[in-house]
């Protein structure tokens, strides 16, 4: 399997499972978010592998975990959540979804909960507490994977139903300053490496 450090972000956006969602407009805002979800899921897979390795071997690779925190702050929160919370969700709420009780309210709350797990992860790392680190990773992985699935399967079809083409075009333009650049290639500098088969 290709590691995150080898992943081509541009290619990722193009080869995402957009084929399974025939309404996705190439280069549209939903395709951008789907591409980012794919990157997030790749990083989560790396985190899970590293966490298993930590459990089995005990050695804490601080550079790996620092990279994960940087990814969560700069990519997940800084670029991805910002597109959703500041641009997409308000557009959906303007189109009629309740900001208090609708799906966007649930998703905002999950972003907050994810941030809580991220803080726990950092604390465990500072204290070099492997047990707490494992618990924080487990909590984060469960929440983040379910969240991505919910957005892909429920939110994005809703976007297509509620937002006219002009709104999608405007969102695409508003997303542009928040697109990840080539730095994406080195978010996780030293991903977990499977031992070569004997």
Q: Can residue 122 be called a binding residue for Fe ion (CB under 5 A)?
A: no
In the complex, the smallest distance separating the C-beta of residue 72 from Fe ion, rounded to whole angstroms, is 13
Indicate which single residue of 151, 171, 175, 180 sits in contact with Fe ion (rule: CB under 5 A). Answer: 151
x-or-dash string of contact with Fe ion, 62-101, rule CB under 5 A: ----------------------x-----------------
In the complex, the smallest distance separating the C-beta of residue 167 from Fe ion, rounded to whole angstroms, is 18
In the complex, the smallest distance separating the C-beta of residue 110 from Fe ion, rounded to whole angstroms, is 7
> Which C-beta is closer to Fe ion: that of 46 or that of 151?
151
What long-range pairs does 163-169 form, CB within 8 A, spacing at least 24?
163/91, 163/92, 163/95, 167/91, 167/95, 168/25, 168/28, 168/29, 168/30, 169/28
142 burial via Cβ count (<10 Å: 0-12, 13-18, 19+)? exposed
Q: Which residues bind Fe ion (CB under 5 A)?
A: 84, 151
């Amino acid at each position: 399997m290709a590691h995150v450090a080898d992943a081509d972000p541009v290619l990722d956006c193009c080869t995402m499972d957009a084929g399974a969602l025939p309404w996705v407009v190439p280069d549209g805002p939903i395709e951008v978010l789907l591409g980012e979800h794919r990157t997030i899921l790749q990083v989560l897979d790396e985190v899970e592998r590293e966490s298993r390795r930590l459990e089995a071997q005990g050695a804490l690779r601080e550079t790996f975990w620092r990279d994960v925190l940087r990814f969560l702050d700069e990519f997940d929160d800084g670029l991805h959540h910002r597109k959703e919370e500041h641009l997409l969700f308000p557009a959906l709420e303007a189109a009629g979804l309740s900001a208090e009780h609708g799906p966007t309210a649930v998703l905002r709350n999950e972003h907050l909960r994810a941030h809580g797990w991220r803080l726990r992860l950092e604390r465990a790392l500072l204290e070099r507490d492997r047990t707490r680190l494992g618990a924080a990773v487990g909590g984060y992985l469960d929440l983040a994977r379910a969240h991505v699935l919910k957005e892909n399967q429920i939110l994005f079809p809703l976007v297509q139903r509620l937002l006219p083409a002009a709104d999608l075009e405007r969102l695409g333009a508003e997303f542009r300053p928040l697109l990840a650049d080539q730095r994406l290639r080195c978010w996780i500098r030293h991903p977990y490496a499977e031992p070569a088969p004997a």
